Structure 1
Amino acid sequence: MTTEPRRLRNYINGEFRDAADGRTTDVVNPATGEVYATAPLSGAADVDAAMAAAEEAFPAWRDLVPAERQKVLLKIADAIEARAEDLITVESENTGKPLALTRSEEVPPMVDQIRFFAGAARLLEGRSAGEYMEGMTSIVRREPVGVCAQVAPWNYPMMMAVWKFAPALAAGNTVVLKPSDTTPASTVLLAEIIGGVLEELGHPKGVFNVVCGDRDTGRLMVEHPVPAMASVTGSVRAGTQVAASAAKDVKRVHLELGGKAPVVVFEDADLAKAVEDIAMAGYFNAGQDCTAATRVLVHESVHDEFVTALAKAAADTKTGRPDDEDVLYGPLNNANQLKQVAGFIDRLPAHAKVEAGGHRVGDKGYFYAPTVVSGLKQDDEIVQNEVFGPVITVQSFTDEDQAVAHANGVEYALASSVWTKDHARAMRMSKRLDFGCVWINTHIPLVAEMPHGGFKKSGYGKDLSAYGFEDYTRIKHVMTSLG
């Protein structure tokens, strides 16, 4: 017997709907390579309907006092916590991620982040009112921007959905969210949960909407005249296309794009800890993380020792099916991503050496072995471009200046880390590294209170923190005559 694929649907104005023209796309479980669901391939009519619903709901949602929006978000966090096992199961099927790690490393931060933004809703800070011109009092209002068109990526479908909708809703905006076409299932389940909370508390149905589809669907959302803001997490190519489209009607844009995080290891670092933590931060989620520790720069005096230890750590790292509790990561997300990662290894220059891995694992699903590549030069393709897979490259450097030059010598500027026992050196490096985040003697931890976002081709705008919250607001000056 064959199991009929599950049918996913859009969530528009409080209702689950098929695409208006009935088109669908297959959704594949990357751990098996088999179709497990179909999702709407939404077109202009679906986007129009979702935008109309969000636009209609906006005035009532905007005009709620912050305490009421906080109440909704706290209720959403509670509801997600109560449905955690359902979300974990769906997300694992969505992505092939290990069940145990999804349970421990994704759901708790998601719930915490929603609760953080629930609190932020009641703490919109601004300059105090005052008289800056004789006879006049000025005040500053912070207001929601309006309808937000949001496009989430496939590497963390649930968590990135939270990073999108939580600050937007907390600030008083309404949302039309599109998940990746390869990972829509958990976002559709989130729509069921969020929609249930909105209905229970009597709020407008169109506050939160989900539209499934492909790149064309995303383009239609960004180009639509209703949204005041487009927020996209994705590739640099996607980001430049979004920025160009949004420029036509001067739409606000929030972009979190790729990364190529340098991991600078000095000779005085605790090498054992560095190797252990870097392997974890490089291979977690199959390296499909914009902040992954995938580009190591290590001082020449400890280079060989480090490479040997990292290759052993890679060999000891396990990938496999979601229900195997011993695995660190699951498959790559899709067949195209497997082809991309393998292509980087196939095209390595002659001077590069594969110290570990460098091959597909098994013939079912999209698994790739933990890989270490040494002997690289700064202008090599694999050093300059984002692999987005379980591949860690290693280069050597001679001194601090060369380390900085190599670290900064890429087009990305999202995250970085420095490994040293020298406090002054760590402070110098944190100043000189041109990245939105610098970790010292660690790599990849995130907290809701601190901003996440990059420079250069990694995009602009911040996720998380009060800064991320403020990105979803606009500032208005109000001046009144005292006469």
Structure 2
Amino acid sequence: MFQNEITYVRMQKAGKEAEFHRLYEEALKEAEKYLHKEYPNIIGKEIIEKEKIKDISPIDGKEIATFQMASPENINRALEMLHSSWKKWYELGYVERARIMLKAADEISRQKYLISALLAYENGKNRTEAMADVDEGIDFLRYYAINMIENQGFHKLSGKGYDNEESFSVMKPYGVFAVIPPFNFYAITVGMTAGPLTVGNAVLLKSSSDIPISTYLTVKILHESGVPKEALAVITGSGRVVGKYVVESDLVSGIVFTGSREVGMDIYHRAQEKRPKPVITEMGGKDAVIVTSRADLDKAVEGIFRGAFGFSGQKCSATSLAYVHEAVYDKFVEKLKERARNVLPEDPRKKEAFVTPVVNREAYEKFKAIEPKLKEYGDVIVGGKALDRPGYYVEATILKDVMRDSYLAKNELFLPVLGIIKVKDLKDAVDEINKSDYGLTGGIFTEDYEEIQYYFNNVDVGVIYANRARGASTGAMVGSQPFVGWKLSGSSGKGTGSYYYLPQFLREQSQTIAH
């Protein structure tokens, strides 16, 4: 039976929070052994390239590792290897593949403090969020393996068209999937890789250049657990090169991508120019939360604060807009201002850190670019500044009285910026949300059950919550809360961590035997 890992919550409940922090501090020291090294690409064997990529820590802006810039020749070599080998991986059978995935999950669980500590150095994630991230990756491996076993490899007796015939529906892999994950979640890298692998496809994983060490270690664990090196290759490289030599390749049978809308839509169209193929995308969101006149304001403030500023707003599920009923607007604004005004970005290695640096210089410069324009979007009541110190630190920022047609109200920033908009009633708020091109996550705070049902029945969003103080629009749990984007937030209409995820990496074959 599947169970979520949820390390920190379990340790808290068991009265072992001090032990959690002790183990994490030890892991921070161990993680230093993995820094300031050069790491290879793995294409059947370790590959060193002429051109390099630097892994820069957002903590201080300094280089912490060197990776390889995959050449077009080696990308093609990887695809040819995977294309010629994927059937051997499939022919192991679903039970053996699931066993390998479960073994890998157990090994990642054994090393979860180390990987969590590495994430602090690589993408600036604080310790509790980093551990939750690694836990989710473990959950994906286990959930998909168990799902594969429970569904008997998605082979079904489909009935009899005629008395002397026996028919089967058999789901089979496509061949080679290219996996292109984002920087912000280790779990997404693991889940996007585990999905196509578990069902029998081979995978070319293009590692995010912001978390390449943790990705490399995970691929090594998968190989050591039994995934053939010929069925799983990992490279780092430029988006331009990957776009040309992976996305457009005839050797790639399908693509799974998480990232920006612009890149996702470009991949979606270019990948299918020659022939149809599955392109499974998650492309972000402009995630809004509603606070009605019947809300518990303390609960709403905590949920929206955590949803907006966890991992410095760098989640596709981050709360970026709050639509607040006019009757409670002023009171809510004051409460939220009080909750956030003394929260400063911290070194993610510190025990007390909540808001941490943004992931890289590009994100930092993006904040600096909008900094002078914030007053055009609304009234800045908290934060609003990029800090002049080593690393990539910006303030958690809140604006009230945000204009509905402003750039801030319509565009995903992927930064710790929250806009508050006054609404006259629940319908007004839902109507505004539904105008958005995005439809990823959202939430509502109200103690009125009928208002919850109105919201659930009318909002065009894939993942929605009511009264969630731990994160108004964030924190989906594998197996319980499928993570799915509607509209321009996703292309498949099916979510990760759900029953419907694995069949996307399979194609159906109808088999009939006449007797």
TM-score calculated relative to the size of structure 1: 0.93
Answer yes or no: is the 8 Å Cα contact 1:236–1:258 preserved in 2.
yes
Unaligned runs of 5+ in 2: 1-33
Q: Identify the range of structure 1 (26-35 vs 266-275) with the bigger mean alpha-carbon deviation.
A: 26-35
1:225 correspondence with 2:250: yes
Number of matched pairs = 471
Query: Any idea what the Cα deviations from partners look like across 1:247-273, whole Å, max 9, x if unmatched?
Result: 123221000111111101101111001
What amino acid is aligned across from residue 439 of structure 2 in structure 1?
A: A
1:213 aligns with: 237
1:174-323 equivalent positions in 2, closer than 5 A: 174-198=202-226, 204-219=228-243, 220-249=245-274, 250-323=276-349
1:328-477 equivalent positions in 2, closer than 5 A: 328-350=354-376, 352-442=378-468, 443=472, 444-449=474-479, 450-461=481-492, 462-477=495-510
Query: Any idea what the Cα deviations from partners look like across 1:369-398, whole Å, max 9, x if unmatched?
Result: 111111112110001000111111100110
1:111 correspondence with 2:141: no
Q: Matched residues in 2 for 1:464 and 1:101: separation?
A: 18
Say which SS state the counterpart of residue 466 (structure 1) adopts.
Answer: coil
Q: Identify the range of structure 1 (171-180 vs 82-91) with the bigger mean alpha-carbon deviation.
A: 82-91
What amino acid is aligned across from residue 476 of structure 2 in structure 1?
A: L
Q: Matched residues in 1 for 2:390 and 2:510: separation?
A: 59
What amino acid is aligned across from residue 481 of structure 1 in structure 2?
A: A
1:64 aligns with: 92
Q: Identify the range of structure 1 (376-385 vs 240-249) with the bigger mean alpha-carbon deviation.
A: 240-249
What amino acid is aligned across from residue 299 of structure 2 in structure 1?
A: K
2:19 aligns with: none
Query: Any idea what the Cα deviations from partners look like across 1:279-306, whole Å, max 9, x if unmatched?
Result: 0111011100011111100101111111
2:3 aligns with: none
1:478 correspondence with 2:507: no
Q: Matched residues in 2 for 1:132 and 1:318: separation?
A: 67
Q: Identify the range of structure 1 (249-258 vs 471-480) with the bigger mean alpha-carbon deviation.
A: 471-480
State the 1:131 CA deviation. Answer: 2.1
State the 1:128 CA deviation. Answer: 4.3
Say which SS state the counterpart of residue 67 (structure 1) adopts.
Answer: helix
2:63 aligns with: 35
Structure 1 residues 44 and 308 mapped into 2: Cα distance closer, same or farther (>3 Å)? same
Say which SS state the counterpart of residue 461 (structure 2) adopts.
Answer: coil
Say which SS state the counterpart of residue 67 (structure 2) adopts.
Answer: strand
Say which SS state the counterpart of residue 88 (structure 1) adopts.
Answer: helix
1:51 aligns with: 79
State the 1:452 CA deviation. Answer: 1.1
Structure 1 residues 81 and 350 mapped into 2: Cα distance closer, same or farther (>3 Å)? closer
Q: Matched residues in 2 for 1:355 and 1:132: separation?
A: 68
State the 1:210 CA deviation. Answer: 0.5
Answer yes or no: is the 8 Å Cα contact 1:341–1:388 preserved in 2.
no
State the 1:90 CA deviation. Answer: 2.2
Q: Matched residues in 2 for 1:107 and 1:181: separation?
A: 18
Q: Identify the range of structure 1 (234-243 vs 93-102) with the bigger mean alpha-carbon deviation.
A: 93-102
Q: Matched residues in 1 for 2:162 and 2:341: separation?
A: 69
1:82 correspondence with 2:110: yes
Once the two structures are aligned, what percentage of the paired residues are identical?
25
State the 1:127 CA deviation. Answer: 6.1
Q: Matched residues in 2 for 1:264 and 1:345: separation?
A: 26
Q: Matched residues in 1 for 2:382 and 2:231: separation?
A: 49
Q: Matched residues in 2 for 1:165 and 1:208: separation?
A: 9
Say which SS state the counterpart of residue 122 (structure 1) adopts.
Answer: helix
1:18 correspondence with 2:45: no
Q: Matched residues in 2 for 1:394 and 1:338: separation?
A: 23
Q: Matched residues in 1 for 2:294 and 2:190: separation?
A: 39
Structure 1 residues 78 and 63 mapped into 2: Cα distance closer, same or farther (>3 Å)? same
State the 1:412 CA deviation. Answer: 0.9
Answer yes or no: is the 8 Å Cα contact 1:69–1:121 preserved in 2.
no
- Structure 2 counterpart of 1:98, from 118, 122, 126: 126
Query: Any idea what the Cα deviations from partners look like across 1:386-429, whole Å, max 9, x if unmatched?
Result: 01111111001102221111111211111111111111221121
Answer yes or no: is the 8 Å Cα contact 2:160–2:167 preserved in 1.
yes
